[in-house]
């Protein structure tokens, strides 16, 4: 029998993997994919809570999260393109102009 905790464990592992991408990778686009994985992990936990607590609110929340994530990806990728025009690079190591 698959219970709530099974889904939550998958969600926690997925969140850790996304965070690993954000911390370990140096390409901005792949860092963005890590962020997407973390958002998806939260979505999975919300849908699981919604089903096991017999409430529709979690699913509505997931719907909103997906919408915001789509808007966020569009803006973020536009920022990356603008950055690439200025610096010719998408590696975080080359973006150190704020460093003292």
Which of 54/100 has CB closer to another protein? 54
Residues between 17 and 56 that touch another protein (CB under 8 A): 17-21, 23-27, 29-30, 32-34, 36-37, 40, 43-44, 47-48, 50-56
Chain Cα centroid distance, residue 100: 30
Q: Smallest distance from the beta carbon of 38 to another protein, in angstroms?
A: 10
Q: Which of residues 63-92 bind another protein (CB under 8 A)?
A: 63-64, 66-75, 77-82, 84, 90-91
SS in 3 state form for the chain? CCCHHHHHHHHHHHHHHHHHHHHHCCEHHHHHHHHHHHHHHHHHHHHHHHHHCCCCHHHHHHHHHHHHHHHHHHHHHHHHHHHHHHHCCCEHHHCCCCCC
Q: Can you give the binding site for another protein, defined by CB under 8 A? A: 1-10, 12-21, 23-27, 29-30, 32-34, 36-37, 40, 43-44, 47-48, 50-57, 59-60, 62-64, 66-75, 77-82, 84, 90-91, 93
């Amino acid at each position: 029998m698959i219970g709530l905790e099974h889904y939550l464990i998958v969600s926690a592992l997925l969140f850790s993997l996304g965070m690993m991408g954000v911390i370990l990778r140096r390409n901005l686009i792949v860092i963005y994919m890590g962020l997407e994985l973390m958002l998806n992990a939260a979505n999975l936990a919300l849908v699981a809570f919604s089903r096991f607590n017999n409430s529709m609110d979690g699913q509505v929340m997931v719907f909103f999260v997906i919408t915001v994530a789509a808007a966020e990806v569009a803006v973020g990728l536009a920022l990356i393109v603008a950055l690439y025009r200025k610096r010719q690079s998408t590696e975080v190591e080359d973006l150190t102009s704020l460093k003292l």
